[in-house]
Structure 1
């Protein structure tokens, strides 16, 4: 179990790199729009790009430090002693492999027909990028994940939203829903973590909540998408 909790970022790196190459180099069907304007392609590329970001956060950061985000996040929570930190490796695994991967996979599977599902998944990298970039700018200091937030996450979210909007699948109210989905997922994990620390949630329940949060973009995307069509 420990090998999985600490080794999954290497799986994310390998799978992410392979999928980026496949999606980036695969021949385009006749008559298909350019990749950056193709809703189907934009909804598929999200998870591989995010996986590369996850490696900088949880695999090796730019200084070569292993599993760097754990200590950084626990420090922000006021728990410099990792033994007392409520955000243990199982929690981080449930957030990243549970919530984040579920959000992107459901978005890719829903495809352009239910584009709001994939679009709301883009709220995750959009909000997460600012949660890395904001502190880095404010403190003038590096944090694990900020480099790929600037180079990958923020461009992913902005290009993805622009491409979906250009295809007529997004308007301003729907973009607001995308941001709301990203905020809701991040707020949910912090609220549940606080509840666990106060004894209001058991550890298994804490992990289950993180997995459930992965379906927030799916639910919100379906509700908003159906409402707008109606």
Structure 2
């Protein structure tokens, strides 16, 4: 069953998110440049994605909008035709390996090297796809699922802002850069859902299920990295916009 860390990690992430938000809005430490708005700063927006997803994790694995604790695992099991825990057969470590390698490791490292590198925005592609994954089923079933609130009020407006303003004539990347970001997000979600279904149908083992989660994350980042050369827009000066 779930151990203490399974219940604690979203709250630890909330602490990290609070620190990140203080640094993002209270200092210039996480900015690539200071001559234009932080809302158009590549590194700042990359770190904002990390903080945003950590807040989302609190709704999924901390406390949901309905007040349920650690609600997402049971919700996912029910969606996949499984009973809630402790009867659900998905390994409890599955949720850690879906989230921590992405949000605690890969995304912050990519943000550090964001600059004019598209790979720093990979998490925004995941966020955009995750918003669809939460919102569309909720519309169809007319039921709340853990993560829906933050997906609606945070993921949708922020991902639309970032993907649109950071590409095309307003940003450092060509408009085509939206494609690999969304494909990367879809790939990671596809590995998550596909491997879970394969495991539940007896096609793969639990160790392989767990190993596929960081592998899917690595492949998603690799996809964006390989698109970097085709995504970068010609360098052009941008007028100061304040902060």
The residue that corresponds to 1:92 in the other structure is: 95
Q: What is the aligned-residue RMSD (CA, Å)?
A: 2.1
The residue that corresponds to 1:45 in the other structure is: 48
Q: Which runs of 5+ in 2 are unaligned?
A: 233-243
The residue that corresponds to 1:199 in the other structure is: 202
Say which is worse superposed, 219-228 or 194-203, in terms of deviation: 194-203
Q: Which SS does the other structure have where 1:83 is aligned?
A: coil
C-alpha displacement at 1:58, in angstroms? 0.6
The residue that corresponds to 1:20 in the other structure is: 21
- Count matched residues: 228
C-alpha displacement at 1:192, in angstroms? 1.3
CA contact (8 A) 2:20 2:51 kept: yes
* 2:92 paired with 1:68: no
Q: Which has the higher helix share?
A: 1
Q: Which SS does the other structure have where 2:191 is aligned?
A: helix
Q: Distance in 1 between matches of 2:231 and 2:154?
A: 30
Say which is worse superposed, 179-188 or 206-215, in terms of deviation: 206-215
The residue that corresponds to 1:57 in the other structure is: 60
CA contact (8 A) 2:61 2:72 kept: yes
The residue that corresponds to 2:109 in the other structure is: 106
Q: Which SS does the other structure have where 1:122 is aligned?
A: helix
| CA distance 1:175–1:17, shift in 2 (3 Å) | same
Q: Which SS does the other structure have where 2:185 is aligned?
A: helix
CA contact (8 A) 1:39 1:167 kept: no
Q: Distance in 1 between matches of 2:91 and 2:155?
A: 24
Q: Which runs of 5+ in 1 are unaligned?
A: none
| CA distance 1:31–1:173, shift in 2 (3 Å) | closer
C-alpha displacement at 1:228, in angstroms? 4.7
Q: Which SS does the other structure have where 2:49 is aligned?
A: helix
